Structure 1
Amino acid sequence: MDSTGAEPTTVLHVVAMPFPCQGHINALMSLCKLLSSRKHNLLITFVVTEEWLRCIGSEPKPDNIRFASIPTVIERAKAVDFCGFNEVVKTKMEAPFEQLLDRLEPPVARIIADFELQWSFGVGIRRNIPLASLWTMSAAFFSSLHHYHVFAQAQPQLLPLHLIAALRNSGVRFLWVARGEASRLKESCGDTGLVVPWCDQLRVLCHPSIGGFWSHCGWNSTLEAVYAGIPMFTFPLFLDQVPNSRQIVEDWKIGWRVNRAQVGSEILVTKEDILELVQRFMELENCERKKTWKRARELKNVCHQAITEGGSSHSHLDAFVSDFLEVKNH
């Protein structure tokens, strides 16, 4: 007991290990922030590579979340070759992660790891540490893989510089996030475009000036657009992005699909298609646009109800805290 006569609070040390890509890091950090607000005796060590720590280490976070780093086994710029990037993550990241666990204090009581880090299951088993696996894609895609073992095949998809020309000529103001090419693209955007290497995407989408969101349809981006009530241009590249696009356009009806053209071995978007799509989508009196905006606002309301107290998402998170983070249950 302390001087007040109260029982001392036992700190539960949780290590969070994301797959080293922006969308996965964002998703796991969001979960950790929610958990830290639900359970005040948590200490969460959020593990990233040294390169990622330099990128996000100064971002605000709750006091009970701290960063720790492991060596950069592969630079994030090499994620464009996803198969090669994934192979390095699968084979080179486990050893430094285990070495970090040996150094952390207090002893690690729980691990939350990205589902893509399959080696984390072995770490948890060997060390007798309960582990939760974070699936960052949609439940529908998980069900497809589980029941039918369906894997979409990636193929090259490009947005050439004449995408830029179409946007500039459309007269529509745009914000373009281009991580590795911002400085090169700025020169081509004119007065209507702003190119940045990074932004707080959810904060941008929630701004009242945003009229649409061109997205590759990753699940994080999809959820953020739904939360903000913003219609989408869908441009899926591979894996779950393809069924996500279909859900956005055909099921929810809150987006328009970007058409592609086959040019040799590449799949491109023509300047004419971009210009026509953007102008039609941003025309305020367009009947189809009005219907899309109405459905986006309706889905936004459903999303916000789910995360309020008593909503489905709120209740499921409480159940996870009770099942996984309560010491008495283990």
Structure 2
Amino acid sequence: MPYPGRGHINPMMNFCKTLASKNSNILITFVVTEEWLSFIGSDPKPDNIRFGTIPNVIPSELVRAADAYSFTIATRTKLEAPFVRLLDQLEPPVTVIMADTFLFWAVGVGNRMNIPVASFWPMSQSMFTIMQHADLLVKNGHLPADSAKSEEHVNYIPGISSINLVNIPFDGRNQQTMQRILEVVPWVKKAQYLLLTSIYELESKVFDVLKAKFSFPVYAMGQIVPNFDFGENTNHNDNNYLHWLDCQPKSSVLYISMGSFLSVSIAQMDEIAVGLRDSGVRFFWVARDETSRLKELCGHIGLVVPWCNQLRILSHSSVGGFLSHCGWSSTREGMLCGIPFLTFPIIFDQILNSKLIVEDWKIGWRVKQDMKMDNLVTRVEISRLVQKFMNLENDEVKEIRTRASEFQRVCQRAIAKGGSSETSINAFIQDLSQCVVIE
């Protein structure tokens, strides 16, 4: 049962496909709302994955950005009852529940029905451990967030290196939402498993802290990216944009995606568009519903599309950089493809992911230098930065590209046969066999 949002549904489905492909005797019922079924119901999947549906949280869940707080409350109050009814109807009987950590009520459902629950965390391990140790932030006067202290460094969170308070994404402007998010934390320890969507090597210190903290198994499941063998490019006319990419020089294209949920303001979007045009750099921009307007602003040096297969684009030889909102799925996919980042985080864990990319892994630069301010990044700044970032002869650029390639090899080794990711997934499957016999 994923939280009803693209950044939650995709990684859970990718993980389910991995489980299903490793053992055909595992039957997975993937529970989504009726609206999400209409979006993903026809996507290719293994035969041992089936869909279960429950009513929508709100009439159209894709407009949840308009009132994120109300949507979050609705996922807590409207999903549990239909989920329980579905559990009672499924045959064969359910033996394990895997639920998004933010749907904390699923842990209570499993405990009442004597069904083990695996809590599935769709963000970075660093974000998880910061939430787990929010009490330390309160104790030290750093939560609720205080803009006057934003330059202070925090060095007391286990597993986390010294971090500027502005990079801890507890936004003081929306304490209601932050409080709702922190309420999921106590429920995790009542689950029977914890599944983390990161490889061990990327956040090893954090993982070791979490593994020691909980009495039940904790797994670093790895990249959890789409498997090309399942034909992820379904009916979206890939050939047109892939042909365009085929015609571009190696590492010359800047790929741009600001996510599928919240985005920057229209004014900021326009500054990015004109900055790209003025930079003279080739670009490939996925812009959902704004393609026509952005095409007019950007000119003809790049391509603006409403949809693409992101992993296919990032793995294309002509792509040499990724301007990203730093959602965790995008971060993982960019790293797996060895692509350096220009980071433009918007909200919540994206801010921390940007910090990991720029300061810890050193595989990218920030577009917006001052995270405290709502000021626009101007077209002049964007044009100058993009030109420098895509200059393959620049020594600084060479350095981050080299590091991005090194992290790519780390990620590839982890998900390869015998790697840390595959080892964790196999261990989880083995633990599932303790719940029910699977051959």
TM-score normalised to structure 1 length: 0.88
1:3 alignment partner in structure 2: none
1:82 CA displacement: 2.3
Closer/same/farther in 2, CA of residues 237 and 71 from structure 1, 3 Å limit:
same
2:412 alignment partner in structure 1: 304
Q: Deviations over 1:56-99 (max 9, x none)?
A: 12211111112222222222332323222211111112222222
2:230 alignment partner in structure 1: none
AA aligned to 2:341 is M
Q: Structure 1 segments of 4 or more deviating over 6 A?
A: none
For residues 431 and 292 of structure 2, what CA distance do their matches in structure 1 show? Answer: 48
AA aligned to 1:165 is V
AA aligned to 2:396 is E
Q: Does 1:321 align with 2:429?
A: yes
1:241 CA displacement: 1.7
Closer/same/farther in 2, CA of residues 311 and 273 from structure 1, 3 Å limit:
same
1:160 CA displacement: 3.0
Q: 1:173 aligns with which of 282, 295, 298?
A: 282
Q: Does 1:96 align with 2:96?
A: no
AA aligned to 1:36 is A
1:128 alignment partner in structure 2: 114
Q: Which moved more, 1:88-97 or 1:107-116?
A: 88-97
Q: 1:236 aligns with which of 345, 351, 356?
A: 345
1:4 alignment partner in structure 2: none
For residues 247 and 166 of structure 1, what CA distance do their matches in structure 2 show? Answer: 26
For residues 262 and 318 of structure 1, what CA distance do their matches in structure 2 show? Answer: 40
For residues 88 and 255 of structure 1, what CA distance do their matches in structure 2 show? Answer: 37
TM-score normalised to structure 2 length: 0.67
Q: Does 1:42 align with 2:3?
A: no
- Whether contact under 8 Å (1:249, 1:255) holds in the other structure is yes
Closer/same/farther in 2, CA of residues 157 and 260 from structure 1, 3 Å limit:
farther
1:53 CA displacement: 1.5
For residues 376 and 78 of structure 2, what CA distance do their matches in structure 1 show? Answer: 35
1:84 alignment partner in structure 2: 70
Tell me, which stretches of 5 or more residues in structure 2 are unaligned? 138-168, 174-262
For residues 130 and 253 of structure 1, what CA distance do their matches in structure 2 show? Answer: 39
Q: Deviations over 1:142-199 (max 9, x none)?
A: 1222224455217695333121111122122222222343344333332123222322
Q: Does 1:218 align with 2:309?
A: no
Identity %: 53
Tell me, which stretches of 5 or more residues in structure 1 are unaligned? 1-16
Mapping of residues 66-215 of structure 1, within 5 Å: 66-74=50-58, 75-80=60-65, 81-149=67-135, 152-153=170-171, 158=265, 159-215=268-324
Secondary structure in 1 aligned to 2:50?
strand
Closer/same/farther in 2, CA of residues 154 and 237 from structure 1, 3 Å limit:
farther
For residues 73 and 184 of structure 1, what CA distance do their matches in structure 2 show? Answer: 31
Closer/same/farther in 2, CA of residues 177 and 164 from structure 1, 3 Å limit:
same
AA aligned to 2:391 is E
1:245 CA displacement: 0.9
RMSD over aligned CA atoms reads 2.3
Q: 2:365 aligns with which of 236, 249, 256?
A: 256
1:102 CA displacement: 2.7
- Whether contact under 8 Å (2:323, 2:341) holds in the other structure is yes
AA aligned to 1:134 is F
Q: Which moved more, 1:296-305 or 1:91-100?
A: 91-100
- Whether contact under 8 Å (1:164, 1:188) holds in the other structure is yes
For residues 154 and 211 of structure 1, what CA distance do their matches in structure 2 show? Answer: 36
For residues 14 and 57 of structure 2, what CA distance do their matches in structure 1 show? Answer: 24
Closer/same/farther in 2, CA of residues 70 and 194 from structure 1, 3 Å limit:
farther
Secondary structure in 1 aligned to 2:97?
strand
Closer/same/farther in 2, CA of residues 199 and 168 from structure 1, 3 Å limit:
same
Q: 2:11 aligns with which of 27, 32, 36?
A: 27
Closer/same/farther in 2, CA of residues 181 and 154 from structure 1, 3 Å limit:
farther
For residues 109 and 257 of structure 1, what CA distance do their matches in structure 2 show? Answer: 45
